[in-house]
Amino acid sequence: MTATPRCAMRSTPSVAFVRDSRAPTQTPSLQSTPLDWVDEASDESFPASDAPAWPASASLRTDPALELLMERSRAPAYPLSPFLTVLYGGEFGLPPRSLVANFVASVDGVVALGPEYPESGSAISGRNPGDRFVMGLLRAGADAVLIGAGTLRATPGHTWTAEAIYPAAAAEFRDLRRRLGRTDQPRLVVVTARGDIDVDHHGLRDGALILTTDSGAERLRGRVGPHVVLRSLGGDAQIRMQAVVDAVHSEGHEVVLTEGGPTLIGQLLAADLLDELFLTVSPTVFGRSPAAPREGLVEGVAFGPSKEVRLDLRSVRRQDAYLFLRYACTSRSLP
Ligand SMILES: NC(=O)c1ccc[n+]([C@@H]2O[C@H](COP(=O)([O-])OP(=O)(O)OC[C@H]3O[C@@H](n4cnc5c(N)ncnc54)[C@H](OP(=O)(O)O)[C@@H]3O)[C@@H](O)[C@H]2O)c1
């Protein structure tokens, strides 16, 4: 466990769980449920596994659970352990072949404080345990984690695994991946045009896929470790996002999580490639000024009036003053 300040669980949240009628499974009501009540998993969506019984979790009574306020998810439910189900405040799953994003933003939409504060994600989230848990859960459910080189450069000590961000559920995350038939860890995929990345970055140590241009590949060739696959998608400048996503799928990765940053997500939205957005709204306001320009959720591309990106609210959860929003992305071109 890191020294993350954690909120003590004072009482079990009262959860009214409304599920989309098209979804295949029944969801247990968690209303007025004691925290240690759930003793069996509800799972009809995935084949029975020979995995052992759910791992015991010592943290069950100390971790804060998310309070479910609204749910209209259409994704299949993953076979979560009781611990994960309680922490998340209900069922969770991702669409079978999908690209989903996870970000934390302040109330005024700031996701990065600028180059002088590279690891500003922690400052924006306040290292909120609920945000770290959702990051872990999303990583646990993904085949691959896609990031831009800017995010890699900004977070030198980071690894994009579920247990690294939320160690208290490490055993449950591992178990979930086993039940889903996933590899031990999601594969890190880094996009870079210039090939300007630290080849000794901690996050690359256990293997990664680097998608780059011919010139980027030239710069990195012979320098990356044996577990890192270097793949050029041609050219010298920007790679088309469709080519990036096709390359990730062609490696056998179906469920792809992107953790940014704002340049990458802007292009994914512009190309209509993002299926869902998980957005943590942190109860902070950072503002902007010419001296402190700050980055928003999307950088480098602007939408409207000819193209609209619209978000359909799928679920709302809460922990203290933090909101956990899940959106489906839709967009349309206007005449
Ligand atoms: N709050 C949050 O949830 C959150 C999440 C993620 C990141 N962040 C923050 O966001 C900041 C980084 O922002 P960013 O916009 O620079 O990050 P980014 O989108 O991760 O990285 C941008 C870089 O990715 C590469 N890239 C992007 N599109 C490309 C394309 N089409 N073809 C080839 N390469 C492409 C380029 O790398 P090269 O320059 O190497 O060519 C580009 O400079 C950091 O401070 C990070 O902490 C915050």
pLDDT per residue as tens digits for the range 139-192: 999 999 999 999 999 999 999 999 999 999 999 999 999 999 999 999 999 999
Q: Does ligand 1 come within 6 angstroms of the Cβ of 260? A: yes
Structural domain includes residue 12: no
Give CA–CA dist 213/240, Å, rounded. Answer: 11
Lowest model confidence (mean pLDDT) among 11-25, 47-61, 105-119, 274-288: 11-25
Tally the domains of the chain.
1
| pLDDT at residue 38 is higher than 60 | no
Test site for ligand 1: of 100, 192, 274, most ligand atoms within 8 A of the Cβ: 192
Q: Is the CB of 149 under 6 A from ligand 1?
A: yes
Residue type at position 304: G
Q: For a pLDDT cut of 90, what percent of the chain falls above it?
A: 71
In a domain, 34, yes or no: no
Q: 22 or 285: which carries more pLDDT confidence? A: 285
Burial class (CB in 10 A: 0-12, 13-18, 19+), 125: buried
Structural domain contains residue 4? no
Within 13 Å, how many C-alpha atoms sit on residue 285's CB side? 3
Q: Is residue 287 part of a domain?
A: yes
> Is residue 108 included in any domain, yes or no?
yes
Q: From CA 138, how far away is CA 259, in angstroms rounded?
A: 10
pLDDT at 52 over 60: no
pLDDT computed for residue 53 by the predictor: 63
Instruction: Give residue 325's pLDDT.
Output: 98
Say which residue, 15 or 200, is predicted with more confidence: 200
What confidence tier does 21 reach under pLDDT thresholds 50, 70, 90?
Answer: very low
**Domain range for 118:** 67-333
Kindly state the average pLDDT of the residues 38-62.
Answer: 48
- 113 falls within a domain: yes
Quick check: 35 and 13 in contact, CB under 8 A? no
**What residues pair up with 212 in beta bridges, in sequence order?**
192, 232
Residue 115 Cα distances to 153, 180, 286, 294, angstroms: 10, 38, 15, 9
Does a structural domain hold residue 190? yes
- Give the residue, by CA position, lying nearest to ligand 1 atom 22: 150
Helix, strand, or coil here: 115? coil
Query: How sure is the predictor about 73, in pLDDT bands with cuts at 50, 70 and 90?
Result: confident
Position 62: which residue type?
Answer: T
Q: How far apart are CA 93 and CA 78, in angstroms?
A: 5
Residue 144 token pair: 């691959």
Alpha carbon nearest to ligand 1 atom 9, residue: 112
Residue 183 lies in a domain: yes
CA angle 20, 25, 28 (to 5 degrees): 90
Give the Cα separation of 117 and 148 in Å (integer).
Answer: 17
Q: What is the pLDDT of residues 205-258, one digit of tens each?
A: 989 999 999 999 999 999 999 999 999 999 889 999 999 999 999 999 999 999
In the prediction, which pLDDT does 121 show?
85
Mean pLDDT of 80-99: 95
Query: How many C-beta atoms lie closer than 10 Å to residue 212's C-beta?
Result: 27
**pLDDT above 60 (res 12):** no
- Residue 268 parent element (H or E): helix 262-270
Three-class SS of residue 11? coil
Q: What is the CATH number of the domain that holds 93?
A: 3.40.430.10
